[in-house]
Amino acid sequence: YLDAPVNALTILKDQAKNKHERTIPISDRLNVAIDKMHQWWWITDHYPGTRYAFYANHCQRPLTVRQAQYIITDAGKLSIGRNIHPHLLRHTFATRLMRNAPLPVVQELLGHTNLSSTQIYTHPNNEDRKKAIDSLNKKD
């Protein structure tokens, strides 16, 4: 569910793999994009607090997991000619977050109980390793 005033999405228990509800912040840019999509579909907020972030159509039915998978796969094929799947986006999200946020924050945003699960999703590259070493040269 979208909580636009505070720029956050809530993942409900029945949607989460670990069955724990969590609220994650979203960027201003994503919030604006979702709002534009809602305007395009003429989505109105009839029931405050129950507004889905993504809809399947203008009838205000929420997007199903399968529909989201098709959209992401098709977008990947059309834009970069590769098969993209939602789980790949999760890995990308974790890796990009890791570059600017402490691992426990990444863990929380991914909804992981164990840090070891989060580490599977992060993929540091040579530049990440160099930045880590270079940070040792900074004076406190």
Q: Tell me: the pLDDT tens digits for 77-96?
A: 888 888 888 889 889 999 99
68 and 57 within one domain: no
> Would the pTM count as exceeding 0.85?
no
| Sheet strands side by side (includes 2-3) | 2-3, 8-11, 22-25
Local confidence pLDDT in tens for the 140 residues of the chain:
556 566 888 887 777 777 788 888 888 888 888 778 777 666 655 555 556 666 666 566 777 778 888 888 888 888 888 888 888 988 999 999 999 999 999 999 998 989 999 999 999 999 999 998 998 987 76
The predicted pLDDT at position 91 comes to 93
The last residue of one of the domains, among 63, 79, 109, is 63
128 and 75 within one domain: yes
Neighbours of 129 (CB within 10 A): 10
What does the alpha-carbon distance between residue 128 and residue 16 come to, in Å, rounded to a whole number?
30
**Who contacts 73 (Cβ-Cβ below 8 Å, separation ≥6)?**
83, 84, 85
**What's the chain's average pLDDT?**
81
Q: Which domain holds residue 19?
A: 1-63
Number of domains in the chain: 2
57 and 72 within one domain: no
The last residue of one of the domains, among 63, 93, 113, is 63
78 and 52 within one domain: no
The last residue of one of the domains, among 48, 63, 78, is 63
